[in-house]
Amino acid sequence: MGEKGAVMPILLIICFLFTSLLFVEAAVFVNEKQSVSKEEQVLQLEWLLRNAEWKWTNEKERRAGNENQIYRFPSGYVQWQEKEFSDTHIHLIFKAVTADGHERTRSYYLEYHKEETE
């Protein structure tokens, strides 16, 4: 193996392997960055929904019938809609929208008891 021409192909193969490794690592980095961005978006929407649910449950005066209301937060807003199905059941819909325009909806069917006034 004392020939001078054998070193160049080996160096080219090593450079090709390192370049391939670099491209694979770059692709993995981009995919993970996109995953983190999506997860951040989901967490932000969940935060909005949970805060709106908390506000709704702690609210003392609820509006009856088909009512829409909006809760505003620093990172977006949540619109909720309450529909009465019967005297004891309502359908509650929360729609969260972030400042970037991403949205998520959650709905509940709830049973409640009206307080009787004397």
Note the pLDDT tens digit of each residue in 34-88.
Answer: 999 999 999 999 999 999 999 888 875 655 544 668 999 999 999 998 888 888 8
pLDDT at 110: 85
Domain boundaries, the chain: 4-111
Beta carbons within 8 Å of 93's beta carbon, 6+ residues apart? 80, 81, 82, 83, 105, 106, 107
- Compute the distance between CA of residue 7 and CA of residue 117 in angstroms, rounded to an integer: 95
pLDDT at 66: 47
**Strand (E) positions, the chain?**
67-73, 76-84, 89-98, 103-111
Sign of CA dihedral 21, 27, 31, 37: positive
